[in-house]
Amino acid sequence: MATQHSRSAARLMMAPAVILLLGWMLVPLTMTLFFSFKKYLPLRGDSLGNGLDWVGFDNYVRFVSSSSFWPSVVTTLLIVGGVLVITVVLGILLAIMLDQPMWGQGVVRILVIAPFFVMPTVSALVWKNLFMDPVNGFLAHVWRFFGATPVEWLSQASLQSIIMIVSWQWLPFATLILLTAIQSLDSEQLEAAEMDGAPVTSRFFYIVLPHLSRATTIVILIQTIFLLSIFAEIFVTTGGAFGTRTLTYLIYQRVLESQNVGLGSAGGVYAIILANIVAIFLMRIVGKNLDA
């Protein structure tokens, strides 16, 4: 299929995409790296024009030794972990449910998938006000109906609230992926198991679940990458208060709120390294698939 003529044409056609992405990656990355080794507080008069002081690994050390660092790491792990557990477990159950014969399956699918398409700011604000508001929110009314005191979600159970909101948004994604995987399971395998005398639960644990393990891994890896950088939900509900400050949010605050660019950039480098580690695992699986 390939002759000399095609090859050079091909290289030319790839060029714009490659050059643009290369620029998009390299330019800001090098700048972030650059800033991370400098003292740069624009609000205090530092500017690129005046030249910035080199501080070596100072920012890196300060970022990690700051009292907000470890809490933010813990918060990040809790949120990501919490959402992963909820979306994967419920996702598998929902996927199985949607795979069953029923009437109006198409409509149920739409109902279950819908939350993913709601923009994060709408989702967060709606949950914060329409549902979680301790005075007028839907949940408050329900709690009062049963005679209990309404929970002050975002101030008392803020971490759980964020986890709830984000899980609601991402559950459809997990469900859809896992449903696709379940439907790709060859029914003949299950039939053979049935002929071999396996009851429903055994068939689930020995055939369905292993088949899903690959899809589950993908869901976990992809969601982790996106969940590490959730922003809008926190921005719009708590602004990082009440213990909901993730690593991403901490960096954001350092860079854009307190405007300590050097410190924030160092933090950014940490975040990039962390994301890359997860990405390496994901890319290995994707790579194997590309060969197929």
Partner 1 sequence: MARAVTTQRKTINTIVAWGIGLLIFFPILWIIILSFKAEGDAIKTPIEVLSSAWTFENYGVVQERSDYSKHFFNSVILAFGSTVLGLIIAVPAAWSMAFVPSKRTKDILMWMLSTKMLPAVGVLYPIYLLFIRLGLLDTRFGLVIVLMLINLPIIVWMLYTYFREIPGEILEAARMDGATLWSEILYVLTPMAIPGIASTLLLNVILAWNEAFWTLNLTAATAAPLTAFIASYSSPEGLFYAKLSAASTMAIAPILIMGWFSQKQLVRGLTFGAVK
Partner 2 sequence: MGSITLKQVTKSFGATNVIPPLDLQIDDGEFVVFVGPSGCGKSTLLRLIAGLEDVSSGVIEIDGVDATAKPPAKRGLAMVFQSYALYPHMSVKKNIAFPLKMAGIDQAEAEKKVAAAANVLNLTDYLDRRPGQLSGGQRQRVAIGRAIVREPEAFLFDEPLSNLDAALRVNMRLEISELHNELKTTMIYVTHDQVEAMTMADKIVVLHAGVIEQVGSPLELYKTPRNKFVAGFIGSPKMNFIEGPEAQKHGAATIGIRPEHIDLSAESGAWKGKVGVSEHLGSDTFLHVQTDFGLLTVRAGGEVGLHHGDTVWLSPHEDHLHRFDAAGMAI
Q: Which residues bind partner 2 (CB under 8 A)?
A: 1, 3-5
Binding residues for partner 1, how many (CB under 8 A)? Answer: 113
For the chain, the first-to-last Cα distance in angstroms comes to 19
CB of 8 to partner 2, least distance (A): 15
User: Which one of partner 1, partner 2, none interacts with residue 49, CB within 5 to 8 A by kind?
Assistant: none
With contacts defined by CB under 8 A, name the span among 67-75, 80-88, 190-198, 201-209 that binds partner 1. Answer: 190-198
**18 lies in the site for partner 1, by CB under 8 A:** yes
**Residue from 27, 61, 85, 209 in contact with partner 1 (CB under 8 A):** 27
> Residue 120's closest CA among 85, 77, 152, 165?
165
Residue type, 216: T
Cα 64 to Cα 67: distance, rounded to the nearest angstrom: 8
From residue 113, alpha-carbon distances to 102, 110, 140, 170, 209 in Å are 17, 5, 26, 9, 22
Build a one-symbol-per-residue string for 92-121: x at contacts with partner 1 by CB under 8 A, - elsewhere: --x--xx-xxxxxx-xxxxxxxxxxxxxxx
Binding part of the chain for partner 1, among 18-26, 65-73, 74-82, 199-207 by CB under 8 A, reads 18-26
Phi, psi torsion values for 39, nearest 5 degrees? -95, 120
Report what 26 binds from partner 1, partner 2, none; CB cut-off 5-8 Å by kind: none
Q: How far is the CB of 6 from partner 2 (least distance, A)?
A: 10
Q: Which residues pair with 38 in a beta bridge?
A: 54
CA–CA dist 236, 249 (Å, integer): 12
Query: Segment 198-257, which members bind partner 1 (CB under 8 A)?
Result: 214-215, 218, 222, 225, 228-229, 231-232, 235-237, 248, 251-252, 255-256
Residue with tokens 């690593």: 247
